[in-house]
A and B are shown apart, each in its own frame.
Chain A
Amino acid sequence: MNPLQLAVRVLRADSRSRASALFTMLGVAVGVALVVWLAATPGAIQNRADRESWRSQYSAGGPEQSANQPLLVVKTYDDVDGERVHRFDVAALKPGIPVAPGIPRVPGPGEVFLSPALAELAAKRPPAELAERFPGKVVGALGDEALSYPGELVAIVGHAPDAMPSGAQSRADLARPERGGHPDGLLLLLSQVGLIILVVPCLVLVASAARLTAARRERRLAALRLAGATPQQVVWMTVAETAVAAVAGTVLGLIIGIPLRSLTSRIPWEGGTWFPSDFTPSALLVIAVLVLAPLMVCFAAVFGLRRVLNQPLGAANQHTKRPPSVARLLLIFGAGAIFFVGLGMAQGRGGTTTYVLVGLTAVAIALVLVGPLVTSWVGRFFTGVWRSPATLLAGRRLRDDPKAAFRASSGVVVAVFAGSLALTMFPGLEGRIGFSDGTWRDGVLVAQTYGAQAKQVAAVRTDMAKNGVTAPVIAISEGRLGAKGDRNSQSAMVLSCTDAVKVRPVDIGVCQQGPAIYVPRGTRIAPGEIVFQSYGSRGTESADIDLPTQVPVREYQPNGRGSATIFVDPALVPQNKLAISSVAVVTTPQNEAVARTAVLRNVVGASIYSNGAYDSHGDTLLGDLRRVTVIGLAIATILGGVSAGVAAAGSVVDRRRTFGALIAAGTPTNVLVKALRREAMLPALVATVGASVAGAFIGAGLLTLAKGDLVLSPWLVTPAVLGLVVALLAAAACGPVLRKVTARAYAEE
């Protein structure tokens, strides 16, 4: 009888081997589905970056066209209903300019391409609220290949070259660069970190599933070895027995991955979800998983048979196992060293995160390998101090077979590590997200331009009035103010007192008669002749404008971090020497859309800032970050819990006969349940604390790469507490399995 026939015979004859194979298959399927999904995530991020890569290929030069740069582009942003609109004003200097997939061609003057979602939105709303922001005729739609995510709002507006707004830059084309797009660094780093810290519990789950009821198999194979089977025959029998479940589980996992992809594509990031095809794994990945997953499962099963191969009698008689070596402790220090050396390299110029990720993988694996050593120490401690039979049984088990005992905790330990890492990083990443800093009042739209004309500002007013909106429209010029020859000049804007009160959150009180300079309280202007240095723009040179002598300087109370600027009354500077850098419109929620349209129709090339839109974008990013953190941690927790439950239940099945005899001799089941619970909890208690500390250290290191500030909060203890709760719940899985063990179980094998 060959090994495969023997394996099939065992599966047919023994219902518990069959159940164990089924669990192995399910464990492998869940692990494979998650591994494929996680491994496809960096690819999905790259796909997104590739699709939008046509948007940011600028030459180093300005609008001076050359034969190689026949396209002028101004890239701006706007908002509608809290969603960002990406707008590209373009002018082709010659026909046939290459474009990226999804863009029909470079639009000619008066032609507009809108993304389908933007076109739909524009059609639904009155033209003055949205459609009129894009002057010209909509001649086509942008395809999915040109969009970052489904439903993205993008517009490409064509112009004649001489009608292009200020700030245009020249480019060669609107095509994707050959080297592909640059993915969002933070998202890529998070996905890679997530991949590593979630793949490890996946592997733990697969290994736990493969080792399910290993002791029973070990006894059977030891008997075969004693009956004369060669080590090679035993290995092949194990491979055959495991391979059936592993191959079936791998195929099932790949099938489960298909609906999982669709679910994942609904998780938003940076304002939009994903195309399901983004998460389609490459053929190479699928083939690699199909081959490697069953091999790994078989390897895990065969690796666990070393004792049977080397000492069949020992395995059959359940001799004491060799305790784990203290040298394992060195692994954690070694892995930590790899991580921090990698971190140092990544922080250097042109550094890569590859070594950091290798170090992170090493730390996660080291935690799993050091766990049995810690478990054996915990066991040793409790066998010395036990008072109750439950503690004695648990302590002895932990000390004598720490590898098997820790198997139930390993997934939870990695989940705690992931949780502490995430919670260490989260406040720092959160701090990096930009929110409005109080520079402008709420409701004020600020159109930032490369130099608008007074007539454009007037046209904004006219357009708004035409649509029944009579909001203040204020032109602002910016520059610096200081005494002549003083190098420490300060940021200033040409803005009257009454207008400043309307758009900036300042406490000036009642504006006094007559032109003046308003400075934030405590600001000192060096005595002497005062000069306003205006910023230049297209059509207006920068200029030093001498302000009249004896001009009154009045103080005001700034509110908000960004509001401390100097205001210079427009009456003090000649208007023809100033470039308009911003146009501010004071709006209400009711007239905001019309005001935006009026500004963008007349001040083409402006990006519009408002506190509401900026905060909304910040909220979106914060929500994204929280969402991916919660999803990642939920997966880690579920994986850890399931691994722990599978391992704990498997350990009961493996010791069914001993437990049966104990129950037959009158041992109350609840004493055994208590012992099993302690067996699961005691190593988890120590290991989760260790994992928590390791996670905080690694998280702090990773945070330096993301350039966030370290903020330690009491929430950091949450993963350890949650890990213990999960370990306790998983240990509770022993209860029902143990209650199925009857007093007669001892006689059944």
Chain B
Amino acid sequence: MTEPMGLNPLADRQPILVGQGLVKRYGQTHALAGVDIAVNVGEVVAIVGPSGSGKSTLLHVLAGILPADGGDVLVAGRPITRLGEGERSKLRRSAFGFVFQTGMLVAELSAEENVALPLLLAGGSKKQAMGTAQEWLIKLGLGGMEHRRPGELSGGQAQRVAIARALAHRPRVIFADEPTGALDSRTGEETVTALLHAARATGAAVVIVTHDPNVAARAQRVVEITDGRIALRAAA
């Protein structure tokens, strides 16, 4: 199922997400020390680097989860750095999708309900949200598992539900934080393939934080970060 991502026809030179001179401090430590990064529409960018280098912090700042101490984040040309938590929260649930290391699905909800949740939060009706959720689960090969709880799914299946949830509301950027970190290599590869396929289908850009060189190799561009600074930018 692997696909040469460099041929993604939806990737163009129009940036959807830009970070300019991003600074983030934790006490005396500079987690980010002036990072500049741009992600184009439909582009897949991998952020790699050693533990503690600042890659997860960069993802959190770009996604508006953490406010930057310096610099700006622009989404479709609109700065979000000075937005309040309420507006950033709204942006996250409308323009962004998230895939976490262990899926972070709501344990009490079924697979279908987990996928429908962002649509419901965006104000969608129950019928519409559940219908869309079902479509996405089928697209991701999870037909028949709609009513299973996260605890009844394998790690790979749970991650695919998380991907469906991230994409169901058709976000413009998907942030994936170590999406294969808890999976074996084969399942991890299948999960990344599913993510990239689905993202391509919706035209969403993907920002993946990963340790895994195989995952990084699937991105169109790799950004290596060390000690809070960009060390390398390379096309995959």
Contact = CB atoms under 8 A, between A and B. Distances in A.
Interface of A: 314, 317-320, 386-389, 392-393, 396-397, 399-401, 657-658, 661-669, 671, 743-744, 746-747
22 contacts: A318-B151, A320-B152, A387-B126, A389-B120, A396-B109, A397-B108, A401-B108, A657-B104, A663-B89, A664-B63, A664-B92, A665-B96, A665-B97, A666-B89, A666-B96, A667-B93, A668-B86, A668-B89, A668-B93, A669-B89, A744-B66, A747-B177
A397 B109 CA distance: 8
Nearest to B107: A318
By size class, the interface of chain B is 20 to 34
Given A396-B109, A744-B65, A666 B93 contact: yes
B106 A393 contact: yes
A744 B60 contact: yes
Nearest to A659: B106
Nearest to A660: B104
Contact of B149 (A320, A388, A397, A664): A320
Given A667-B93, A667-B121, 12 more contacts: A317-B151, A318-B107, A386-B126, A389-B121, A396-B106, A401-B108, A658-B107, A664-B63, A664-B65, A664-B92, A665-B93, A666-B89
Given A396-B113, A665-B98, A746-B100, A320 B118 contact: no
Contact of B108 (A388, A389, A400, A661): A400
A314 B100 contact: no
A396 B116 CA distance: 14
B42 interface: no
User: 4 smallest A-B Cβ distances: which pairs?
Assistant: A666-B93, A666-B92, A661-B104, A396-B108
B151 A664 contact: no
A666 B121 contact: yes
Contacts of B118: 665-666
Interface centre among A388, A400, A666, A669 (most CB of B within 10 A): A666
A388 B104 contact: no
Interface of B: 56, 60, 63, 65-66, 86, 89-94, 96-98, 100, 104, 106-109, 113, 117-118, 120-121, 126, 149-152, 165, 177
Contact of A319 (B92, B113, B152): B152
Contacts of A387: 126
A664 B104 CA distance: 11
Contact of B113 (A392, A399, A743): A392
B65 A671 contact: no
A260 B225 CA distance: 62
A318 B150 CA distance: 8
Contacts of B98: 661, 664-665
Nearest to A668: B89
A393 B90 CA distance: 19
Contacts of A663: 89
A318 B92 CA distance: 27
Judged by DSSP, the binding face of B is helix
B16 to A, nearest CB: 17
A500 B152 CA distance: 90
A319 B120 contact: no
A392 B89 contact: no
Nearest to A379: B108
A222 to B, nearest CB: 12
Interface centre among B65, B96, B97 (most CB of A within 10 A): B65
Contacts of B120: 388-389, 392
A746 B92 contact: no
A671 B121 contact: yes
A669 B151 CA distance: 25
Contacts of B113: 392, 396
Nearest to B90: A666
A512 to B, nearest CB: 89
B104 A746 contact: yes
A712 B64 CA distance: 59
Contacts of B86: 668
A741 to B, nearest CB: 13
A625 B93 CA distance: 58
A671 B151 CA distance: 24
Nearest to B98: A665
Nearest to B104: A661
B104 to A, nearest CB: 4
Given A320-B152, A665-B98, A746-B100, A389 B117 contact: yes
Contacts of B151: 314, 317-320
Contacts of A396: 106, 108-109, 113
Nearest to A662: B106
A668 B120 CA distance: 12
A319 B150 CA distance: 8
Contacts of B97: 665
A250 to B, nearest CB: 34
A589 B66 CA distance: 78
Contacts of B89: 663, 666-669
A703 to B, nearest CB: 44
Nearest to A396: B108
Contacts of A320: 149, 151-152
B121 to A, nearest CB: 6
Nearest to A397: B108
Contacts of B63: 664
A672 to B, nearest CB: 10
Contacts of B107: 318, 400, 658
Nearest to A743: B65
A409 B150 CA distance: 27
A666 B91 contact: yes
A387 B126 CA distance: 6
A454 B98 CA distance: 104
Contacts of B56: 747
B84 to A, nearest CB: 12
A319 B65 CA distance: 29
Contacts of A743: 60, 65-66
Contacts of B92: 664-666
A269 B104 CA distance: 59
A746 B63 CA distance: 15
